[in-house]
Structures are given as C-alpha cells and as structure tokens.
C-alpha cells in the first residue's frame, strides 16, 4: 500500500483513517455492520503520522464519508 505524498493525499488519508476507526468502533458496539475489514493498526499509523505533519481530520469528514460510502454504487466494506 502506497503512503500519501501530497498535502491533499495526506488530508484524504487522515479523513479516511479516522472514518474507518470510527466505523470499526461503532461495529464493536453493535451499532453498525460492514466494517469487518478495517486495518486498525494502519489507520492508527496514518493518524499518528498525519498529526506529525499537522494534518487532522476535517470537521465534516464523518458526515461526508458516510454519504459517500452509503451511495448505492459504493460498498461500505472496503476499509483502509
């Protein structure tokens, strides 16, 4: 798996990593299904390295990515 290189790629990766960690936590609590394949260590690593670069999840990333992954053409079981 290729690491992000540009600022835009880092922002996207941090947003995705945070989203999938939230989805994984929600599944652990029985609130949702479909987050079985989340690579938790990889997501945590992306967030940690993003913080070092001063890249943080955008305020609307959960809502924005929930809409994107809930669209009929996208399968929410993807994960990072």
**pTM value?**
0.83
- The 10s digit of each residue's pLDDT in 56-79 is 999 999 999 998 888 665 455 555
**CA proximity to 77, closest of 39, 25, 38:** 38
Q: Give 11-38 pLDDT, tens digit per residue.
A: 999 999 999 999 999 999 998 888 888 9
Residues 6+ apart with CB under 8 A from 78: 37, 69
């Amino acid at each position: 798996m290729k690491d992000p290189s540009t600022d835009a790629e880092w922002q996207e990766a941090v947003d995705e990593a945070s989203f999938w960690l939230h989805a994984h936590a929600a599944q652990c609590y029985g609130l949702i299904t479909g987050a079985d394949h989340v690579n938790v260590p990889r997501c945590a690593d992306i967030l940690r390295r993003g913080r070092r670069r001063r890249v943080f999840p955008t305020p609307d990333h959960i809502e924005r990515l929930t809409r994107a992954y809930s669209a009929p053409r996208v399968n929410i079981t993807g994960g990072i």
